[in-house]
Amino acid sequence: MSSPKNASLQIRAVASADIPHLVSLNCAAYPDLIQDEVVWTEPQLRSHLVVFPEGQLVAEAEGRHVGAISSLILHRDIDPLAPHTWLGVTDNGYFVRHDAGGDTRKATVEALPKIIDYFQSRGYTFTTIADLLQKKKEDLMPPVPKGSGYYLVEINYGLAEFGYWMGHFLFSLFIIFIILSISRIVIMAWLAWKEVKKTKAFSFGAITDFHAVSIIVPAYNEEVNAVASLRNLLKTDYPNYDIIFVDDGSKDNTYEKVKAAFEHDARVKVFTKPNGGKASALNFGIEHSNAQFVICIDADTKLKHDAVSQLMKHFLVSQPGVDKEMIGAVAGNVKVGNEVNMLTKWQTIEYISSQNFDRKAFSYLNAITVVPGAIGAFRKDAIEDAGGFTTDTLAEDCDLTIRILRTGYIVANEPNAIALTEAPESMRMFIKQRFRWSFGVMQTFWKHRDALFNQKYRWLGWIAMPNILIYQYIIPSVIPLADLFMFIGLITGNAEKIVLYYFLFILVDLFVAIVAFRFENEKISRLIWLIPQRLIYRWLMWFVLYKAVRRAFKGELQNWGVLKRTGHVKELEVTMVKSPG
């Protein structure tokens, strides 16, 4: 804005910490104008000062020699956006307005339109320095010649622009993923609550017709756990069962130990076969079963004495609104049975607050995607209709479950069918196990990708499959970027926003974890490790995902992925029952 006479002096106001509503003004005049010190009265001050956002003031010399104005106190409240504070500008001067600063430039954005309207209505014109000097913009800001330092400037500019847009992109990504994660947690909590409420509203009657069931136990190098696990199975309260143990070409003494321990027990059938993978071992056991139903468990697993009965009631007892003949599979409730160190304690939290909790939620929609290998019951006809266990994925349990859903069967959940499994106790074994799971589920998702958003498969296509894609692969894949952005934000002035969003996420996550533990009557005190578990697990699972994706791109396959067993799974309190016959 211009009225071509003389130059102006800039004064910056600093709010007084001692006297409220007062502003202390300090101005250092241009050195060549300093001759003496002049102290203005308030009327003089009002005629020579213009107040701007955050206390910026402009003093006009009006052709006089002005010295330094120091320690001058303005005895009135100042509203930087009120027009009356701008009346001191005369027709014979210039004033300079600086950006008010701040993170968002909010004060500048709010004040500028008012300032422009105010002065334009009084005949002032706004111009550029170039026009005022009758120069071209290029004269005042000539381009950098392509000589020494040109490309360095260009690189610097490019990096600055890249950093600017990348910062905005990462922040947006961070917010989107936080919103998606919180939304998922809330939705899953609501669905799980609905499922628990539905379950409590119905009480299964007693089983009156105990159909035969075969318990299939595939094993590979399980000499540490196999015998103890089979002895545990013999304590079941379900009266009509047999156990089919299948050694899949173990390199240790698994077969010999099991054979010696149970060769005189008619309830236990022990087989061995050439190594072909877990799926082939399960199919082998199913083929040697004469029962209409089968229960598949891992060789390191111990069941609660009533687990088999809890699973079988879904097939044998009528439920309102459910055709029991359409129950194709029932998922049991897997818990960690060897809490011996920090890693296994973290896995306990994961099993309860993630895996089992999610299974409750998806059960309400008939969209369970994994009947766990540690404990799952199946109608034999459903397995046959779905094509049996296949060897083209490492997640044979996930693959079969999805195929059973696609054939129209119901996959139920039974939280009271408790199984204790041996969780990996070392980081090496943990990574090995989770790699097998991650790679196998990735294979399964790709195999069934046609079900994604396919109305034919209802909630499987619209909820369960997108859940796998977004929350098991897409979001975990950007964990390093999200954490890097969070760290950069914390040290560059965005801590308030980032901490707020992240704190909200942790708060919601903790609330849902508490709900999950309450659902299963677990001690809330065990959640003391939740926050470190969540933070460290994120990076561990990212590493697992990286290995799985790398393996997928290389086109390599994977075998059983044998884990080193310790046999630390605790014994369950059981009620002894007399063997039939």
Amino acid at 460: L
Q: How many CB atoms lie within 10 A of CB 553?
A: 8
CA distance linking residue 190 with residue 186, whole number of Å: 6
Evaluated on CA atoms 155, 160, 161, 165, the torsion sign reads positive
Within the chain, how many helices (H) and strands (E) appear?
20, 13
What value does the mean pLDDT take over residues 164-191?
84
Tokens at 112, concatenated: 């500028």
Q: Vertex 302, ends 520 and 347: CA angle to 5°?
A: 50
Q: What CATH class has 176-554? A: alpha beta
In this predicted structure, the answer to whether residue 85 has a pLDDT above a threshold of 50 is no
DSSP secondary structure letter of residue 345: H
What value does the mean pLDDT take over residues 55-80?
34
**pLDDT at 423 (0 to 100):** 92
pTM summary value: 0.72
SS3 (DSSP) at 93: coil
433-473 residue pLDDT tens: 999 999 999 999 999 999 999 999 999 999 999 999 998 88
357-372 residue pLDDT tens: 999 999 999 999 999 9
As a whole-number percent, the residues of the chain with pLDDT over 90 amount to 44
Place of tokens 């300093």: 34
256-286 residue pLDDT tens: 999 999 999 999 999 999 999 999 999 999 9
**pLDDT at 64 (0 to 100):** 34
- Report yes or no: 70 and 30 within 8 Å, Cβ to Cβ: no
**pLDDT at 559 (0 to 100):** 53
If you write DSSP's letter for every residue of 213-248 in order, what string do you get? Answer: EEEEEEESS-TTTHHHHHHHHTT-S-SSEEEEEEEE
Region of 58 (left: φ > 0; alpha: ψ -120 to 50; beta: rest) is: beta
Region of 21 (left: φ > 0; alpha: ψ -120 to 50; beta: rest) is: left
Tell me what the pLDDT averaged over the chain comes to. 78
CA distance linking residue 41 with residue 475, whole number of Å: 64
- Report yes or no: 248 and 220 within 8 Å, Cβ to Cβ: yes
Answer with the residue of higher pLDDT: 501 or 526.
Answer: 526
Q: What are phi and psi of 462, to 5 degrees?
A: -100, -20
In this predicted structure, the answer to whether residue 485 has a pLDDT above a threshold of 50 is yes
Answer with the residue of higher pLDDT: 391 or 104.
Answer: 391
Name the most confidently modeled range: 12-16, 97-101, 396-400, 499-503. 396-400
Task: Give the pairing of strands 375-379 and 293-297.
Answer: antiparallel
- Report yes or no: 310 and 416 within 8 Å, Cβ to Cβ: yes
List, in sequence order, every residue forming a beta bridge with 247; answer none if it has no partner. 219, 272
Amino acid at 520: E
Answer with the residue of higher pLDDT: 101 or 116.
Answer: 116
Which of the residue ranges 184-193, 301-310, 485-494, 500-509 would you say has the lowest mean pLDDT? 485-494
Report CA-CA distances (Å) from 579 to 60, 265, 267, 444.
105, 10, 9, 40
List, in sequence order, every residue forming a beta bridge with 302; answer none if it has no partner. 420
CA distance linking residue 403 with residue 392, whole number of Å: 13
List, in sequence order, every residue forming a beta bridge with 412; answer none if it has no partner. 330
Q: What are phi and psi of 218, to 5 degrees?
A: -80, 150
Which of the residue ranges 143-147, 309-313, 458-462 would you say has the lowest mean pLDDT? 143-147
Half-sphere exposure (Cβ direction) of 400: Cα atoms closer than 13 Å: 32
CB-based contacts of 241, cutoff 8 Å, min separation 6? 212, 213, 214, 215, 267, 291, 308
SS3 (DSSP) at 285: helix
If you write DSSP's letter for every residue of 434-471 in order, what string do you get? Answer: HHHHHHHHHHHHHHTGGGTT-GGGHHIIIIIHHHHHII
Range(s) within the chain of domains with CATH label 3.90.550.10: 176-554
CA distance linking residue 417 with residue 499, whole number of Å: 41
537-565 residue pLDDT tens: 878 888 888 888 888 777 665 555 555 55
List, in sequence order, every residue forming a beta bridge with 216; answer none if it has no partner. 244, 296
What value does the mean pLDDT take over residues 1-18?
34
**pLDDT at 205 (0 to 100):** 87
Work out the burial of residue 130: count CB atoms within 10 Å of its CB; fewer than 13 is exposed, 13-18 middle, 19 or more buried.
middle
Answer with the residue of higher pLDDT: 413 or 487.
Answer: 413
Place of tokens 């955050």: 54
DSSP secondary structure letter of residue 76: S
If you write DSSP's letter for every residue of 117-167 in order, what string do you get? Answer: HHHHTTT-----HHHHTT--HHHHSPPPPSSTTHHHHHHHHHHHHHHHHHH
Helix (H) or strand (E) holding 357: helix 357-364
**pLDDT at 321 (0 to 100):** 84
Task: Give the pairing of strands 8-15 and 56-60.
Answer: antiparallel
**pLDDT at 124 (0 to 100):** 74
Q: How many CB atoms lie within 10 A of CB 419?
A: 23
CA distance linking residue 377 with residue 361, whole number of Å: 19
Report CA-CA distances (Å) from 400 to 143, 315, 447, 557.
67, 18, 11, 19
Q: How many CB atoms lie within 10 A of CB 198?
A: 11
Residue 175: pLDDT band with limits 50, 70, 90: confident
Which of the residue ranges 193-197, 221-225, 436-440, 570-574 would you say has the lowest mean pLDDT? 570-574
Nearest alpha carbon to residue 560 among 299, 333, 289: 299
B/e letters for 456-495, b = 16+ CB within 10 Å, e = fewer, are ebeebbbbbbebbeebbbebbebbeebeebbeebeeeebe
